[in-house]
Structure 1
Amino acid sequence: MGLEFNKLEWDSEFFGFPVGKIIQDINSENDLKKIHSETDLKLIYYITKKELVEELRSNEFFDVILVDEKVSIQKTLNRDAKIHPKVEIYDEEEVDPDLMRLAFTAGLHSRFFKDKNISHGKAKELYQIWIEKSVKRILADIVLVYRLDKRIIGFMTILTESKNPHVSLLAVDPEFEGRGASFALMSSMEGILISKGYEIVKSETQDQNKKAKLIYRRQGVEFKEKHYVYHLWRNNPTIL
């Protein structure tokens, strides 16, 4: 069976050029040659459990960039968890400026900000759309915010469309780190999901984010599989 790939319509429209995703492992340079010759994709997302060997990263068809190393995480929900008094479900139709700023903070270490071929302006636009659609309950079902003197200093978005809900975005204002906002958001999320009948919540974190991993460990989070995330940008060599 040949290498399979999908064109991503929303991403293509957003970036203004063809974007796709490889859905099988890349095993040889012939795989890259095939996708180069059979599609017009300019940017391809590739997520894999094994790191690409140097021979494939240095191929003549695509500029291969390692943009993230993600670890899947999972937590069994604490049945005694309660909603923290400073945490509330965000139910406004417009995005509060503090919430928008925190959405950018959540994305700073993401693959879109780390890719040298994507401007920070375009990456910020992506997270602006993400938080706007989360507030409108398109990309999230629950948006939690932590308020301190009416100011939003932390937030979390949760998607519950599958059997196990998924935390998509989480950030705390760096100025207020160490004051328990992350733990309050986590506990509140667990209390809400328990009340809805869920038992497990899932998410991902960057393998290099030692601070986040420490917080998760203190919360009893289990670390699962690690995945390497690559962006493949089309080169235009003369193919003989």
Structure 2
Amino acid sequence: MKEYFEILDWDSDFFGFKVAKINKGLLLEEASENCFKSLYKNEINLGYFFSNSPIDQSILNNDFYNIILVHKRIPLVKTIIKDCGFDPNISIYKDKYPSEDMIHLAQLAGSYSRFGVDPNISHDKFNDLFKTWIINSVNKKIASDVLVFKKDDKIIGLATIKIEKGVMYTPLFAVKRKYEGIGVSFSLMRAIETIAFRNDCSTIIGGTQEVNIKALKVYERFGLVPQEPEYIYHLWKNK
């Protein structure tokens, strides 16, 4: 019964098995058995479920799927009010393929992500995923642009940006560990706000994991306001 879920072609191709996103409008607790049976019958190995509240503990144990809370995401929102200017160390990346530094930064950005913390996803597969992510950001398949911060001709920070319907999204954001605390993050954020302002965006929307306290503090200091958390579950088919 396809009303319960949507098969994700890209994810399925990448992982080599069927992956689906479960309808967010579905109250999983109320229709859980039929939903699980439908997923299982359609040979869905991995399901994503996004919820505004935690799943009832009573359905976590079932015969069909192992359900893991992989992510408690904190959305962050800021209203854009000014042109902040550009740090001279920041530029829009122009090459057709990311550098090794950028690939490592993308993997660093994903280390707290749901794919980084799910024990069922191997380290190699995780690295491949975020390498693919930054490749597809640079070639603009999934991003509008990629900002990079350079020091001594080496890329030490990056941010991917995507503009849609007057909103600026920031899917990937990372600074090399050894350069944290010297203002790289704030410089990238000011550049993001400047590009958003110049493109008539009204809002910046980002997000990070609740456990990433350091990132949350940085975002809040820059004026991004935390919203209600989103609970993200992975459902793995029982063998």
Do both proteins adopt the same fold according to a TM-score greater than 0.5, normalized to the shorter chain? yes
Alignment equivalent of 1:96, drawn from 93, 99, 113: 99
Superposition deviation, residue 33 in structure 1: 3.5
Pairing 1:45–2:48 present: yes
| Range with bigger deviation, 58-67 or 124-133 | 58-67
Distance in 2 (CA, whole Å) between partners of 1:117 and 1:33 is: 19
Which residue of structure 2 lines up, in the alignment, with residue 26 of structure 1?
28
The 10-residue stretch of structure 1 (77-86 or 45-54) with the greater mean CA deviation from structure 2:
77-86
Give 1:38 shift. Answer: 3.7
Distance 1:163 1:76 in 2: 11
In the alignment, the residues of structure 1 paired with residue 187 and residue 39 of structure 2 have an alpha-carbon distance, to the nearest angstrom, of 48
Q: Give matches, 1:113-192, under 5 Å.
A: 113-192=116-195
Deviates more, 1:32-41 or 1:170-179: 32-41
Structure 2 contact 40–237 (Cα < 8 Å) conserved: no
Matched, 1:73 2:66: no
Structure 1: which 5+ residue stretches go unaligned?
A: none
Q: Which residue of structure 2 aligns with residue 86 of structure 1?
A: 89
Sequence identity (%)? 36
Relative distance call for 1:149 and 1:2 in structure 2 (3 A) is closer
Q: CA deviation at 1:25?
A: 2.6
- The CA RMSD over aligned residues, in Å, is 1.6
Give the deviation of 1:37 after TM superposition. Answer: 4.6
- Which residue identity does 1:228 align to in structure 2? Y
Compute the displacement of 1:2 (Å): 9.1
Q: Partners in 1 of 2:152 and 2:75 — Cα distance?
A: 34
Distance 1:75 1:225 in 2: 14
Does residue 1:207 correspond to 2:210, yes or no? yes
Shift of residue 203 of structure 1? 1.5
> Given residue 229 of structure 1, which amino acid in structure 2 is its aligned partner?
I
Q: For 2:69, what is the secondary structure of its paired residue?
A: strand
Q: Is the 8 A contact 2:93 2:138 kept in 1?
A: yes
Q: Tell whether the 8 Å contact from 1:32 to 1:61 is kept in structure 2 after alignment.
A: no
CA contact (8 A) 1:3 1:26 kept: no
Deviation at 1:3, TM superposition (A): 5.8
Secondary structure of 1:225's aligned partner: coil
Q: Is the 8 A contact 1:3 1:31 kept in 2?
A: no
Which whole-Å deviations, capped at 9, do the CAs of 1:107-163 have from their partners, x for residues lacking one?
A: 111111211111010011010111001000111111100111111110000011333
Structure 1 residue aligned with 2:6: 6
- Separation in 2, partners of 1:198, 1:3: 34
TM-score (norm 1): 0.93
What whole-Å deviation, never above 9, does each CA across 1:54-88 have from its counterpart, x for those lacking one?
22111221011111000111111241411111111
1:57 corresponds to which letter in structure 2? L
